[in-house]
Amino acid sequence: MTQIAIIRHGTTAWNKAGKLQGHSDIPLDEEGKLQAARLGQRLTAETWDLLYSSHLLRARQTAAIIAAETGIPEVIQDNRLGEAGGGLIEGTTEEERVKQWGEAWKTMDLGMESNEAIRSRGLAFIHELLAENAGKNILLVSHGSFIRQLLSVLVPDMPVTAMKNTSVTRLQFDQDTWNCALFNCVSHLE
């Protein structure tokens, strides 16, 4: 059985301001660093073989803190774990989007990455990961929209809600079947 724990990065100033981050390279804020450290401490109770991260700064910082806490020697970056591209809406709040493009902004071509493109790159990553690392315990640090899109394909019957910062979602892959053993858990913050 292969076990994959998918982690959303820690908080950023843009998270708190309600701004869509997308591909914008925003760093963790102090709270986000603390969240990542607490998660890293939680993960020391388990054995993890590999740690992958999105190439974006907020995910890389989260992964580096987890690596330091757990003693995992290397963080492997992969662009396919990056957040959904937001196009023209990056750096804006919902209120700003409605003001600039109207209530129907979600239906406009504003350069946002499609759900299909996100799922395609996510599945390509997962298939490669499983082929090369069957039976291992693997941590992935990524982003909310990316994680939701990936879960919608891997565990389609599971309702997926907004992902909390530094939440852990644990998937198990055994005999061609995905099982979600833990979803959106932030017990390390409580």
Residue type, 69: E
Nearest to 112 by CA among 159, 149, 141: 149
How confident is the model at residue 159, as a pLDDT? Answer: 87
- Domain 2-87+114-189 in this protein, CATH class: alpha beta
* Residues assigned a catalytic role: 9, 83
How confident is the model at residue 128, as a pLDDT? Answer: 97
Confidence label for 175 from pLDDT (cuts 50, 70 and 90): confident
Q: What is the mean pLDDT of residues 76-97?
A: 97
Instruction: Quick: pLDDT tens for 19-67.
Output: 999 999 999 999 999 999 999 999 999 999 999 999 999 999 999 999 9
CA distance 92 to 64: 28
Q: What is the mean pLDDT of residues 101-108?
A: 93
How confident is the model at residue 122, as a pLDDT? Answer: 98
Pairing mode of beta strands 177-185, 76-77: unpaired
